[in-house]
């Protein structure tokens, strides 16, 4: 099991940008997108997902609706890591 549940914060992935000049205009380009695309292609080619991505952290139960004292009205919420969420979103596009 990894030392921390999710060691890559989402703002780091989102804002890892550098200014790039293209056609005489400056734009901001995320430098991690190319690397993440290579990783995702390799995962799809080998049909494998990293084992550490398969670990979900369960958050405390939440009351869906109804009586607070009825255990049937509660559910656990599984939280997965940032990279796994991004990979899932890519697959559903």
Q: Is position 1 within any domain?
A: no
Q: Is position 21 within any domain?
A: yes
Q: Is position 14 within any domain?
A: yes
- Rounded Cα–Cα distance for residues 92 and 16 (Å): 24
Look at residue 66 in the predicted model and tell me its pLDDT.
79
Exposure on the CB side of residue 27, measured as CA atoms within 13 A: 7
Q: Which domain holds residue 66?
A: 10-92
Q: Is position 27 within any domain?
A: yes
- 38: which 2 tokens? 């290579």
Total domain count, the chain: 1
Q: Is position 23 within any domain?
A: yes
pTM of the predicted model as reported, rounded to 2 decimal places: 0.71
Q: Is position 48 within any domain?
A: yes
- 47: which 2 tokens? 């049909």
Look at residue 45 in the predicted model and tell me its pLDDT.
96
> For residues 65 and 12, which has the higher predicted lDDT (pLDDT)?
12
> For residues 87 and 4, which has the higher predicted lDDT (pLDDT)?
87
Residue 2 — pLDDT band, cuts 50, 70, 90? very low
**pLDDT tens sequence across 34-71:** 999 999 999 999 999 998 888 888 887 777 777 888 87
């Amino acid at each position: 099991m990894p030392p921390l549940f999710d060691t890559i914060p989402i703002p780091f992935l989102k804002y890892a940008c550098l200014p790039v000049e293209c056609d005489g205009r400056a734009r901001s380009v995320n430098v991690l997108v190319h690397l993440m695309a290579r990783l995702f292609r390799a995962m799809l080619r080998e049909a494998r997902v990293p084992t550490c991505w398969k670990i979900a952290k369960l958050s405390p139960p939440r009351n869906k609706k109804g009586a607070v004292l009825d255990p049937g009205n509660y559910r656990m919420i599984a939280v997965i890591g940032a990279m796994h969420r991004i990979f899932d979103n890519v697959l559903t596009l």
